[in-house]
Structures are given as structure tokens and as C-alpha cells.
Chains A and B, each alone.
Chain A
């Protein structure tokens, strides 16, 4: 299968996604320039992390108006898989392909650290290779990662099992201490109603090799590959 990795001005985890997908998972990958609109050759679209357009104005606020984002919206409406990582998650929220918003971390500092994600829903195309409640070690790196949505939206997300990952302790307990940014309900990743668009703050492309400290990110990539 072939992954398409979107490159906005200021994106930086495009290279890490490319490296992991092609060298570790052995899949095809290609970059998609933010002005391109033809996504027909791709089986999955990746919106990687970084600071698209410098994150000026508001994270993801400018990137959502890129030509490629219209194509991504069309692509997702056809039920095809889209994964937004970190800045990609922020862009998906700004583009209303996912509900809610990523606010500044509650401690008002950038945070780069390992986090432990409890898999809440294993029936999505992004988590089918995980076991129920499996804890994944995947790092975060962001300043605006505090997931927020209004009460109704949050209730809907929870009622329809659209929270895929929550920040937890290494033992899998969902606690305030395990929450690195103040996200509501410890939310680290959610899917849209149709279940084909995932947004997550942690970086699975950084945890695909033992030498880098974890291979748990592969479970997410392998789930996508298995779904195609």
C-alpha cells in the first residue's frame, strides 16, 4: 500500500513518518506538497507533526486553508483513512474533520516526553492490532495538546466509543498525574463518526524501533496496513 505524507511549510515529522513507513514497515510512501490536490494514488493520508505556517495565528488555523486540505476532506468523505499526528491532529480539528480543539497545555510549557497510552477502542482501523486496554509507549512533543470539546461533544465522543487512546500510567491507570497536558478525560486520540479519520497528539512515527526506546507505534501503522 502507499501512504501519502502531506508537507505544509513548517512541517517536520514528514521525514520521520517517511522513514518509519518505508524503512521499518516496508511500505511505499510519498510526500504530498500542500498545493497538490490529487490524492488518488494513496491508500492512507498522513498529516504529520510540525509547525505548519509557523503555527502563527493559531495552530493549524492557516494550514486548513491549503489546497491539499480540500482534497483531504473529499478523500475522508469517501471513507478512506486519514491520520493526523500532533500538528496534523490540530489541523484536522481546525478543518472540522474532527470535533474539538487542542488548547495550550495547562502548565503553559512545551512538553517532550514519553507517554503511555491506554487503548480504549480496538475496533477502529487504527487500533485493530492492539489488545483491549493495551498500554502503548509513545512520546509527545507539543505546546498545544490539551484536548478540549464542549460537554455535548465530549459526551457523544465517549458514548460512541470514539476515544481511541487515553494518557495513562505505564500500568494502564488513567490518572491526572499521567495526563501530560490537561486534556479532557485524558484524551490522546479520537476518531471521527465514520471511524476513518484519527487524530492523536503522540508521535507513533517516533516509536517504531527498539533502539529508539519503543516499537509500540508500529501497532498503529500495522493496523492501518491490515485495513487496506
Chain B
């Protein structure tokens, strides 16, 4: 049966891809088979556009236990038999169509990725991007997304420890919603997502299957944003209560020896869960869709296999243990139904009662083509990277305070407490550093250890210089990690880009990945999991290339952790690291907010960066620092002001300014950290910095109620606080 153009469009496969399927199978695929191919060969499941580039990421390390692609999430060993698994995933398209449910099910999906492996999810973070809140529709999306994250996450009892939120015109009509989840467990107790052992049962657990979310992977995630508006039915509806029951039941099951594997039904539902499990297990499977419990009548085999109904899991049960497993799920009042068996023939066989509707080799189904494009450096980058300061007026000294207040109040910099107070960030009794500092810190119960979590990304930097933007995304995440006292361990990421068929978008993707890889190698933070979200564009205009890094660090002794707030009057404030130069103004928040310009490339030297981070970690470990805060958006003046606001203390200091005032105050030069230390520790800190070959400069002292940078800014901290607190 020749396939129509409309049919191919519905599942987002090209004619060429269709022909490849026919060639590999040696025949035309059936309707159900075509549906399976459409999902498994989508970018969301198959990474066909990005796979070649993703290989550039370093993914080895002595503590890496599970690498990208091996299981649902990457896993690292934090010593003493304890393991930590984490992953970040995007839910951009669904969140645009239906912000509350889109964001909620994004949380649900990433949480399932963690507990599927037998790890208990203990923390969530989110990285969000919206258009300016001055536009009502952006405000609607923002409110819906935050509501959905809270509504779903709070019900699960997993601490949501913050993340990051940025606003820019380019995300109008194309918001980014990336959810990051971390779980802990014991080494040796990992559950794998594989189906093996002929005759073992495939059990479907949790919610009934409906038509919701049909074609989510191929339909939504493969289209640009103006195309998806009409696809509201492709967004799933979440039931966090069901998910909470699944978490508890599956973690209980993970401790038994009754199963060989577990896999969640995420993108492409039953299709990807079963085929991927069979592929990893080197087996085949035989499923009867008639055995799948449904919430709607008249669903076809095609619809059952491609539904993305939430809160469902596949459990591969050892033959003979099925009644025990069913009793366990019954106790949690969850459905469990045997829908098929594992076979050894490496074939996917789907039956609809007596009729076989699909019968294709696992390997063909799960081996999408890999595309390489010819990346082309866009000509417009040259102009963009050049920062012509002669055309940009420096800040008159009398205006510096006013500009600082403006920067503190801008939604990209101001306090996000109005968001994170809607998330339960303390459940679990682990959260040591609450949202709002450079990194969240969670202790590992019954050990002296703690882990840090951060999300970082700067679309503007990547837009102007994709390679360095990629480097900086990783470097800044690591710097934030170091500021908490944690040693950076590994990263996950979400790569949010436009349509990769366009040469310049593919160039951005390639350069960002190269930049991130270089930084990951230098900073010894392998990439252990991740996700790619392409086609982020509306009316032909792509978003800023926005790779988001989720980094996890390890603190040996939680007593030695650090936050960004100044702690004591009389402490001495230092700038550790790069003194900064005019390149720091490039693509800065200041340049955009005050001068309306996005131009000029940032610069970074990874050697300097590494030394700085090592020095800060050592200083915190030795108890020399009372605060540490990364200089990022808004530069040194904003970093100092934030440490004052958060500590409720003033600052009195003097800057050694040789060149432009705006560079000194608001430039975002990389590799700089503002720290404070007691007078007794100051000398030791200076000699430590000297030993690490890290520049250190005394800026002033903590104390009083004024924020005073001599000759330039003199404002009450209360006024800074007010601007920063009420910005959103």
C-alpha cells in the first residue's frame, strides 16, 4: 500500500525515510509499523539529527556508572556504596500549547526516568525561558508553567530546589521548560530498562491508556511552534497522585528479585518503552494490544501503541513471579496487566487479538538514520561578535546607583522567590541550601556528605558566540557548584535549538556542543545524560541557541558548604579570579537592558577557570570563606549587592577602576567570584590564592546598612532589597 503525503506528515517522516524503511523491511510497512517507525525515528526518541554531534561529549570518568543512552538516566558513584542518578529533559512544545499540563507532565516524565532505575527521586530543578512578562500571553504561559511544576511536584513529595528563569523576546511564542531530576540509591541495586529471558512477562502498570498525547514524540517535538498550536490533544494530562503511588510501588518492587527490568512509558508511550527494552535486552517481544486496559472505547492498535498517556510503566516480570508482582501493585491500588511476553526472535510482534498488526525486527525499528549536515557559519556572526565600545556611552558616575537598581529589578536578575515559594523545597529533610543561592545543597542522610545541584545556560552568549557560549554554560555551572563548596562531578543537559535542517542552526548546535565538550573535559565533568529539543522556532525565527547545563557536585563534609549571603559584619570582601576587562560587557545584561544591544563575545580561559574553582573549593573545605558568589549577570556590582541583600548586611569598599566604569561595575567577565572571610582568615586566604595562582583583590568590608562603592554608589541595602525583591 503506497503511503500518502498526509500520512507521512502526520508522523513527521520524510519520503526518503519511508523508502529506507521499505528497503530495510523488504516490503511496505503496515499502518501500525509505520506508526512505530514515526515515533522511534523522531528526533525526540532517535536523535537522528544530533547523534553524530552528541558523540563529541566526553562521557567517561572514574565514578561514572551509567553513561548516556545506556539507561533512562546517567548514574555516578559518590563513594561508600552510594549512587546518584540524574537527567534533564525538555517539555517545551507541550508547555506552549497547554502550559500547566505541559510543565506538569514534564516533571512527571523526568521523575519516572529516575525511579524506573530503582533510585528514589529526592530533588527537582527547572530551567525556564519565556518572552517578556509585559506581554499578557507570556505571563499566562509563565503562570501556567510555574503552576504545573508546583502542582505536580508538590504532590509527589520531591523537593523542588529551584533552578533558573530568564526572559527574552526570542522566547515569546516559544518558551523553554526543562526539568531536572536527581535520585539516590545503593550501588548494586540499579534496575535496568531491559527485557530479556524468553517467556518472561511484559506487564503494564499504572494508568489506563487513552488517546491523550497521541503522536507527542513525532507530532509535537518534530514541528516548529506555529505548527503545533492546533495539536492540543497531543498534550497529556498528568495525575501526580498516580505517579506518587507508582514511585512507592516501583521502589518497593526494585528491592525484590522478581523482575528483570523496568521501563517507563514516556515519549512514544508503549512503543518506545517496549522496543527499547527489547533492544537493550537483546530480545524480541510479543504483545497483544487487546490486553492493554483503556480509558476510551474504540481505540485502534495504532492508537494504543502510540498513546502517551501518563503514569504508566512497563515491568519485565520473571516467569513464575507474576502473582507476587500483581499483589504488590494491588496493595498500592494500581492496575497491573500482562500484555505480552519476551521472545528470543529479536522481532517486535504486535497483535490485535487474533490478528498480527506489526511484525518487524527490533534492530531495524530502533536504528534510525543518522544525519550529518554541512554546518555553515552564518555571516551575521562577524558583526555580532564585534563590540564597538566607542558607540556605547559609559555610565556617568552619578548614575551608577540608578543603573544598579534597574539591573537588580530586571526579571533576569531579581529574586525568584515568588516562583520557588510555590514549590515544596524542603520535603525529604535533605535541603541544606534552599533556592536562591548559587547552588542548592542536599545532604545525603546518615552520611557526612552532601551534593549540590545547579542549572545554567545563557542563550544570549550562545547566540553571539555559540562555541564560547557552550564553554561558558559548563564553566558557570561548575563555578556555581564550586561556590557551594562542592567539587563538580558530572553534568546532564538539554540542548534547545531551532530547526537543524537550516545550516546556521546546525552550526550553532555543533559549535555549542564542541564548546561544552571542551569545558567538560577541562573541568572533568563528563556528560552522563541529556536531551535534545529541536525545532524551537516560530514563524521561521529560531530561539537563541540555548544549551542548559544541569550539574551535580559532591561535598565531602556538609559542614563545609557555603552560600552567597554575607554573614558577619567586619568580614573582608575579596574578588577572586579574573580582574575583568571590556570584553565582559559583551552580550551582557547591562548592555541589553541599558543600551538595547545584544553584541560582543564574552571571553574565557579554561585554565584560569579551573584554578579559580579549585582554589574556592579548597578555601571552603578549609573553612576560610563565609560567603562565595559567582559574578555573572549584572557583573561585580550586582554580585556584591546580592550578597548584601541576602545577608541583610551592608558593604563598604573601593574599586580600583582604570578604564570604563560600566566595565568595572556591570561587566560580566568570566572566572570571577566574590568571597568574604573573617579578618583572621584573610591572610590564609590570600596565601592560598597565591599558591593556586589565582588573582585576589581586597574590595572592602561587610557591615552597616549602606551599600557603598566609594565615589560611585551609595545606597541603603533596604532600597536594593526592595528593587530586587519586587522585580517579578
Which residue numbers of A lie inside 8 Å of B, CB to CB? 9-10, 12-13, 15-16, 19-20, 23, 49-51, 53-56, 109-113, 139, 141, 143, 203, 205-206, 208-209, 211-213
Contact B241 A54 (CB under 8 A): yes
Contact between B241 and A113, CB atoms less than 8 A apart: no
- Assess whether A13 is in contact with B157, with CB atoms less than 8 Å apart: yes
Complex Cα gap A213–B31 (Å): 59
Chain B residues lying within 8 Å of A109, measured Cβ to Cβ, are 421-422
Q: Do the beta carbons of A15 and B428 come within 8 Å of each other?
A: yes
Nearest CB in chain B to that of A111: its residue: B421
- Name the residue in A10, A19, A209 with the highest tally of chain B Cβ atoms < 10 Å from its Cβ: A10
Question: Across the interface, which residues of B come within 8 angstroms of A212, CB to CB?
Answer: 426, 429, 431-432
Q: Are B241 and A205 touching (Cβ within 8 A)? A: no
State which of B151, B155, B239, B432 has its C-beta within 8 Å of the C-beta of A211.
B432
15 residue pairs of the A-B complex, CB under 8 angstroms, read: A9-B333, A12-B157, A12-B244, A16-B428, A54-B239, A55-B241, A110-B422, A112-B154, A112-B422, A141-B154, A206-B427, A206-B429, A211-B443, A212-B431, A212-B432
Pairwise interchain contact A10-B241, C-beta atoms closer than 8 A: yes
Which residues of the other chain, B, contact A19 by a CB distance below 8 angstroms? 429, 445
- A112-B443 CB under 8 A given contacts A9-B245, A10-B245, A51-B155: no
A110 partner residues in chain B, CB cutoff 8 A: 150-151, 154, 422-424
Contact with A23, one of B239, B423, B446, B559 (Cβ below 8 angstroms) = B446
Closest A residue by C-beta to B435: A112
Across the two chains, which residue of chain A brings its CB closest to B417? A113
Residue B558 at the chain A interface, CB threshold 8 Å? yes
Taking a contact as CB atoms under 8 Å apart, the answer to whether A12 and B558 are in contact is: no
Interface string of B230-264 (1 = CB under 8 A from A): 00000000011110110000000000000000000
Whether the Cβ atoms of B426 and A112 lie closer than 8 Å is: yes
Q: Note all chain B residues with C-beta closer than 8 A to A206.
A: 426-427, 429
Is B179 located at the chain interface by the 8 A CB criterion?
no
**Which residue on A lies nearest to B427, using beta carbons?**
A12
Are A16's CB and B427's CB within 8 A? yes
- Taking Cβ atoms with an 8 Å cutoff, the residues of B that contact A are 150-151, 154-157, 239-242, 244-245, 332-333, 420-429, 431-432, 434, 443, 445-446, 558-559
Residues of chain B lying within 8 A (CB to CB) of residue A12: 156-157, 244, 427
19 new A-B contacts at CB < 8 Å, known A109-B421, A110-B151: A12-B244, A13-B427, A15-B157, A15-B429, A16-B427, A50-B157, A51-B240, A51-B244, A54-B155, A55-B155, A110-B422, A110-B424, A112-B426, A113-B421, A141-B154, A141-B424, A211-B432, A211-B558, A212-B432
Cα(A51)–Cα(B422), bound, Å: 15
Interface of A (DSSP majority class): mixed
Total number of residue pairs linking A and B with CB closer than 8 Å: 84
> Shortest CB–CB separation between residue A120 and chain B, in angstroms?
25
Nearest residue, chain B, Cβ from A18? B429
Instruction: Please indicate the chain A residues that have their CB under 8 angstroms from the CB of B332 in the complex.
Output: 9
Contact of A139 among B155, B426, B558 (CB under 8 A): B426
Q: Pick the contact of A9 from B157, B241, B420 — CB < 8 Å?
A: B241
Specify the chain A residue showing the minimal Cβ separation from B422: A110
Kindly list chain A residues whose C-beta atoms are within 8 Å of the C-beta of B154.
51, 110, 112, 141, 143
For B157, list chain A residues within 8 Å (CB).
Answer: 12-13, 15, 50
Residues of chain B within 8 A (CB-CB) of A205 are: 429
Q: How far is the CA of A190 from the CA of B322 in the complex (A)?
A: 48
Please tell me which one of the listed residues B239, B241, B425, B446 contacts residue A112 in the complex, with CB atoms under 8 A apart.
B425
Name which residue of chain B comes closest to A16, CB basis. B429
Contact of B423 among A10, A51, A54, A112 (CB under 8 A): A112
Contact between A56 and B241 (Cβ–Cβ < 8 Å)? yes
- Contact (Cβ within 8 A) B445 A141: no
Give the distance in Å from the alpha carbon of A74 to the alpha carbon of B424 in the complex. 33
Residues from chain B with a CB closer than 8 A to the CB of A141 are 154, 424, 426-427
How far does the Cβ of A157 sit from chain B's closest Cβ, in whole Å? 28
A111 to B446, CA, bound (A): 29
Chain A neighbourhood of B443, CB < 8 A: 211
- Say yes or no: A10 contacts B155, CB within 8 Å: yes
CA distance A212 to B431 in the complex (A): 6
In the complex where A9-B241, A19-B445 touch, is A112 in contact with B424 (Cβ < 8 A)? yes
> Which 8 pairs from chain A and chain B are nearest by CB?
A12-B157, A54-B241, A141-B424, A16-B429, A51-B155, A110-B422, A112-B424, A110-B150
Instruction: Pick the most buried of A113, A209, A211: most chain B CB atoms within 10 A of its CB.
Output: A211
Closest residue to B432 on the A side, CB-wise?
Answer: A211
In the complex, A219→B497 CA distance in Å?
A: 53
For A112, the chain B residues whose CB sits under 8 A away are 154, 420-426
Q: Which residues of A contact B426 (CB under 8 A)?
A: 112, 139, 141, 203, 206, 212
Which residue from chain A places its CB closest to the CB of B156 in the assembled complex? A12
Residues of B contacting A13 in the complex (Cβ-Cβ under 8 angstroms): 157, 427
Kindly provide the distance from the CB of A210 to the nearest chain B CB, expressed in whole angstroms: 10
The residue in chain B whose Cβ has the minimal distance to the Cβ of A109 is: B422
- Cα distance A9–B239 when bound, in Å? 13
**Interchain CB contact under 8 A, B155 and A20:** no
Give the shortest distance, in Å, between A14 (CB) and chain B (any CB).
Answer: 9
CA distance A50 to B248 in the complex (A): 13
Nearest A residue to B334, CB-CB: A9
Residue from B150, B157, B242, B429 having most chain A Cβ neighbours under 10 A: B429
Beta-carbon nearest neighbor of A203 in chain B: B426
- Residues in B neighbouring A213, C-beta threshold 8 A: 434
From B443, which residue of chain A is reached at the shortest CB distance? Answer: A211
Q: Closest CB of chain A to B53's CB: distance in Å?
A: 39
Q: How far is the CA of A20 from the CA of B427 in the complex (A)?
A: 12
With both beta carbons as reference points, the residue of chain A lying nearest to B446 in the complex is identified as A23
A209 vs chain B, min Cβ distance (A): 8
Please indicate the chain A residues that have their CB under 8 angstroms from the CB of B425 in the complex: 112
CB of A59, distance to nearest CB on chain B (Å): 12
Give every chain A residue within 8 A of B428 (Cβ-Cβ). 15-16
How far does the Cβ of B500 sit from chain A's closest Cβ, in whole Å?
Answer: 38
| CA of A112 to CA of B154, assembled, Å | 10
B445 neighbours in A (Cβ, 8 Å): 19, 23
A206 to B427 CA separation, bound complex (whole angstroms): 7
Instruction: Give chain A nearest CB distance to B439 CB in angstroms.
Output: 16
How close is B451's CB to chain A, nearest CB, in angstroms? 14
Q: Which residues of A have CB within 8 Å of B156?
A: 12
Smallest CB separation, B159 vs chain A (Å)? 9
B244 to chain A: closest residue by CB: A10
Give min CB distance, B449 to chain A, whole Å: 12
Using Cβ atoms and an 8 Å threshold, which residues of chain A touch B242?
A: 54
A107–B371 CA distance with the chains assembled, in angstroms: 51
Instruction: Point out which of A50, A54, A112 has the most chain B C-beta atoms below 10 A from its C-beta.
Output: A112
B424 to chain A, nearest CB (A): 4
Please measure, in the bound complex, the distance between the C-alpha atom of A203 and the C-alpha atom of B424, giving whole angstroms: 12
Whole-angstrom CA separation of A129 from B233 in the bound complex = 56
Report the minimal beta-carbon distance from B46 to chain A, rounded to whole angstroms. 35
CB neighbours (8 Å) of B424 from chain A are 110, 112, 141
State A53–B333 Cα separation when bound (angstroms): 11
**Cβ of A191 to closest chain B Cβ, rounded Å:** 25
- Complex Cα gap A23–B429 (Å): 12
- Among residues of A, the one whose C-beta sits closest to the C-beta of B441 is A211
CA gap between A205 and B332 in the complex, in Å: 25
Name the A residues within 8 Å of B239 (CB-CB): 54
CA distance A16 to B157 in the complex (A): 10
Within the assembled complex, what's the spacing in Å between the Cα atoms of A51 and B247?
14
| A residues less than 8 Å from B423 (CB atoms) | 110, 112
Cα(A56)–Cα(B421), bound, Å: 22
CB distance from A205 to the nearest CB of B (A): 7
Cβ contact of A54, chosen from B240, B431, B558, cutoff 8 A:
B240
A207 to chain B, nearest CB (A): 9
Q: How far is the CA of A208 from the CA of B559 in the complex (A)?
A: 16
A209 to B80, CA, bound (A): 23
**Complex: A91 Cα to B434 Cα, angstroms:** 29
Chain A, Cβ-Cβ closest to B242: A54
